[in-house]
Amino acid sequence: MVKIEENCLDLDTYLKLRASVGWKVLSEEQAIRALKNSIYTVTAYIDGKVVGMGRMVGDGAVICYIQDLVVHPSYQKLGVGEALMKQLIEHAESLRLPDTELMLCLMCAKGRESFYTRYGFIPRPTDGLGPGMIRYLNVNNND
For residue 26, is it within any domain?
Answer: yes
| Confidence label for 40 from pLDDT (cuts 50, 70 and 90) | very high
CA angle, 32 then 76 then 92, to 5°: 55
For residue 137, is it within any domain?
Answer: no
For residue 126, is it within any domain?
Answer: no
Say which range, 83-92, 113-122, 130-139, has the weakest mean pLDDT. Answer: 130-139
Give the separation between CA 100 and CA 38, rounded to whole angstroms.
Answer: 22
Is the pLDDT score of 43 beyond 90? yes
The total domain count for the chain is 1
For residue 39, is it within any domain?
Answer: yes
Contact yes or no for 13/44 (Cβ under 8 A): no
CATH number at residue 73: 3.40.630.30
For residue 42, is it within any domain?
Answer: yes
For residue 131, is it within any domain?
Answer: no
| Confidence label for 140 from pLDDT (cuts 50, 70 and 90) | confident
- What's residue 80's pLDDT? 98
> What is the residue range of 23's domain?
2-117
> How many CB atoms neighbour CB 46 within 10 A?
18
For residue 49, is it within any domain?
Answer: yes
Share of the chain above pLDDT 70, in %: 99
Cis previous bond, 98, omega within 30: no
